[in-house]
A and B are shown apart, each in its own frame.
Chain A
Amino acid sequence: MTLLEIKDLKVRVDNRIVINGVNLRVGNVGEVHVLMGPNAAGKTSLLATIMGLPKYNVMHGNIYFDGKDITKMPLYERAKMGIALAFQFPPVIKGVKLKDFVKVMLERYHCSHASLLAKILDIDRLMDRYLFLGFSGGERKRTELYLSLIQRPKLLMLDEPDSGVDIDSITKIANAIELYVENVPSSILLVTHSGHILSKMRHIDYVHIMDSGRIVYTGSPDEILPLVFKLGYKKTLSMLTDKKVKE
């Protein structure tokens, strides 16, 4: 069964084309998809468009989620349908304490794993602090992941959950994701630059390489990741494309 299907998507931000003909299908059986690619390839823009953030204007194509066309659906409706985005840089919400926000979120989403997730992500001690105010990189990422997970999403989108965080935090983040996927029917779309988190994850189904607003190559992690980490995107793409032509 397909959870998310994107057909021929073209997206503009102001006057700039950020997504230029993306097609993607994510199944609903615990699939893990990784998006990689150079800066400005369109990875974050793709997640933002799926979430429905206002400045991402769809010029062409459609997004289907759970069998429904959500291309024009407001972002909060998408969240209610089961799409969550863990932001790379969540903003400080002034005067709102984490514990108060969590309380409101739990009243809405009734997540039974909330306490366990808080423990794994080590955020109990942050509960009395204002949301993201003065948080370290690791605290911010772990908290944002926690808030996304307690939404109990069917599709969890993670925008660079491993950037600017220490190895301990990456382990906690990976453990929480694993726990979630094992217990809640859901799929993951994950953007990473460094790839640090990938080594901590038990299974990855597909790796997509994006460039200039397109998905230019999709393959298995075994096929793609060793090459990317060794050669970088440009050489990897050239090598994979040559291989494909020869086949």
Chain B
Amino acid sequence: MSRKREEISEYTIEKPIVADESVLEEKYTLGAAKRVGLTAPEFRRAAFVQVDYSQVLTAMKKVLEKYKVIVLNTREALRKYPWVKKYYWKALSPGQDEYTSSVEKYGGDGYFIYVPPKTKVPFPILTCLLITRNNLGQLLHNIIIVDEGSELHLMTGCAVSHLVDRALHIGVSEFYVARNAKLTFTMIHAWGSGVDVKPRTGVIVEEGGRYTSYYVIYSPVKHLQTFPRIYLSREAKAYSVTITVGSGKSIYDVGSKIVLRDENAVGEIISRNLAEENSQIIARANITATAPNTKGHIECLGLLLSDNAVIRAVPELESHIHEAELTHEASIGKIAEEELIYLMSKGFTEDEAKSMIIRGFLSVDAPDLPIHVKREIDKVLDLILREAKG
């Protein structure tokens, strides 16, 4: 415990400031945004950007005001709207571990998004969290509330610029999906081999709510450890996808937990894990049922592309009740020779055939993702393949 606290204090931690949009135009900032698949015009359309400790609320904030959607930094939201306090540190506890407590201790700030009842935001809201300076410790606290009967597609890109050799990112995120509301959350991470990453996420989905998460990490990292916990009420559904493409000497400890805590809740955890070079992936998944007539399924697949890489799949099912149906499937293998030969017989080189197989392996049809989000995901998968080919 104390060793890690010392580590956090070794990084430069600053008080966030609100900056103007010129921050977005800096070369290394744009370079970092590009790593999560964003072109400069797309990046400028992000509703909230934090570069190191400079927070930018863009013109998109004004567009969203038409829908009465509130986008602020968390600190300002807590000051301006006292009711936000009832959501603050409720989906997870600051005492959960040393990382959550450090976010509380240093007053981590991030983005706050509130979608009022019966509001369907017709386009994805984009947020971006970037690090462009060495030895920076970026501590964030994000709160996202989708109120009753509303819909939101949130896309977040987190990256470092190529110049960053060493950094720390701790992002606490609290998601609240109210009754019959729907939230799809896509997050893409592009870090570097000297970056420690500890996202901490809690999700509360109320009766009849839907939460779909699609998380991709495709870059090297020093050590990534994340295990979002998703709590489902009656007839709520959650679908959590994690795509991990491991490279270098990186360690990825990834996965999620779904708690089916009320009747007719349904949860599914899907992961695709691709390990190259000397990377290690620990793919965790836990579905816990504490209420009757609940269903949960885990699918955890690994593809090992190097003899020096390791994938460890840890699917866990935990039932406290008779009437819960929990299943899982897990497998780890290499590229199937017969698939490779088949594709080569159709005129593709070995590299092209491998790319096609990898692309197929990483593809997951997540429900509830609108077509434009699917297109973004396709873009990211193409980006992964381009990066993989150097």
Whether A and B are associated in the same complex: the answer reads yes
Distance, CA A101 to CA B362, complexed state (A) = 15
Contact in complex: B339, A95 (CB < 8 Å) = no
Contact in complex: B360, A95 (CB < 8 Å) = yes
Assess whether A87 is interfacial by the CB under 8 Å rule.
yes
Assess whether B356 is interfacial by the CB under 8 Å rule.
yes
Assess whether A135 is interfacial by the CB under 8 Å rule.
no
B336, B342, B350, B361, most chain A CB atoms within 10 A: B342
Contact in complex: A151, B339 (CB < 8 Å) = no
Given the known interface contacts A53-B341, A75-B341, A104-B356, the answer about A95 and B346 at a Cβ–Cβ threshold of 8 Å is no
Assess whether A134 is interfacial by the CB under 8 Å rule.
no
Assess whether B123 is interfacial by the CB under 8 Å rule.
no
Residues of B332-383 whose CB lies within 8 A of A: 336, 338-339, 341-350, 353, 356-357, 359-364
Contact in complex: A53, B345 (CB < 8 Å) = yes
Q: Which residues of B contact A76 (CB under 8 A)?
A: 344-345, 347-350, 353
Given the known interface contacts A79-B346, A147-B346, A151-B347, the answer about A94 and B341 at a Cβ–Cβ threshold of 8 Å is no
Cβ contacts A44-80/B at 8 Å (1 or 0 each)? 0000000111100000000000000000001110011
**Binding site secondary structure of chain B:** helix
Distance, CA A54 to CA B344, complexed state (A) = 10
Contact in complex: B345, A95 (CB < 8 Å) = no
Assess whether A96 is interfacial by the CB under 8 Å rule.
yes
Distance, CA A92 to CA B357, complexed state (A) = 11
Minimum distance in angstroms from B331 CB to a CB of chain A: 11
Minimum distance in angstroms from B211 CB to a CB of chain A: 24
Of the candidates A54, A74, A79, A96, the one whose C-beta lies within 8 Å of that of B356 is A96
Cβ contacts A83-102/B at 8 Å (1 or 0 each)? 01101001111111000010
* Closest residue on chain A to residue B338 by CB atoms: A91
Residues of A137-155 whose CB lies within 8 A of B: 147, 151
Q: Which residues of B contact A96 (CB under 8 A)?
A: 356-357, 359-360, 363
Contact in complex: B346, A93 (CB < 8 Å) = no
Contact in complex: A91, B347 (CB < 8 Å) = no
Minimum distance in angstroms from B36 CB to a CB of chain A: 22
Q: Which residues of B contact A80 (CB under 8 A)?
A: 347
Contact in complex: A51, B347 (CB < 8 Å) = no
Contact in complex: A93, B339 (CB < 8 Å) = yes
Contact in complex: B342, A90 (CB < 8 Å) = yes
Minimum distance in angstroms from A122 CB to a CB of chain B: 21
* Closest residue on chain A to residue B348 by CB atoms: A76
Contact in complex: A87, B346 (CB < 8 Å) = no
* Closest residue on chain B to residue A83 by CB atoms: B345
Minimum distance in angstroms from A55 CB to a CB of chain B: 9
Given the known interface contacts A93-B360, A95-B360, A95-B363, the answer about A51 and B338 at a Cβ–Cβ threshold of 8 Å is no
Distance, CA A54 to CA B359, complexed state (A) = 24
Contact in complex: A94, B360 (CB < 8 Å) = yes
* Closest residue on chain A to residue B346 by CB atoms: A79
Distance, CA A153 to CA B347, complexed state (A) = 11
Minimum distance in angstroms from A131 CB to a CB of chain B: 8
Q: Which residues of A contact B343 (CB under 8 A)?
A: 93
Q: Which residues of B contact A234 (CB under 8 A)?
A: none
* Closest residue on chain B to residue A92 by CB atoms: B339
Contact in complex: B347, A54 (CB < 8 Å) = no
Distance, CA A92 to CA B338, complexed state (A) = 9
A94, A147, A151, most chain B CB atoms within 10 A: A94
Minimum distance in angstroms from A107 CB to a CB of chain B: 11
Q: Which residues of B contact A90 (CB under 8 A)?
A: 342
Assess whether A105 is interfacial by the CB under 8 Å rule.
yes
Assess whether A203 is interfacial by the CB under 8 Å rule.
no
Distance, CA A84 to CA B347, complexed state (A) = 9
Given the known interface contacts A80-B347, A104-B356, A151-B346, the answer about A54 and B361 at a Cβ–Cβ threshold of 8 Å is no
Assess whether A110 is interfacial by the CB under 8 Å rule.
no
Contact in complex: B356, A75 (CB < 8 Å) = no
Minimum distance in angstroms from A134 CB to a CB of chain B: 14
Assess whether A113 is interfacial by the CB under 8 Å rule.
no
Residues of B bordering A, CB below 8 Å = 336, 338-339, 341-350, 353, 356-357, 359-364
A-B contact pairs, 13 of them (CB 8 A): A53-B345, A74-B344, A75-B341, A75-B345, A76-B348, A76-B353, A85-B345, A87-B345, A91-B336, A95-B360, A95-B362, A101-B356, A151-B346
Residues of A bordering B, CB below 8 Å = 51-54, 74-76, 79-80, 84-85, 87, 90-96, 101, 104-105, 108-109, 130, 147, 151
Extra contacts, 13 of them, besides A91-B339, A104-B356 (Cβ < 8 A), are A53-B345, A54-B341, A76-B350, A79-B344, A79-B347, A84-B345, A91-B342, A93-B356, A95-B360, A96-B357, A96-B359, A147-B346, A151-B347
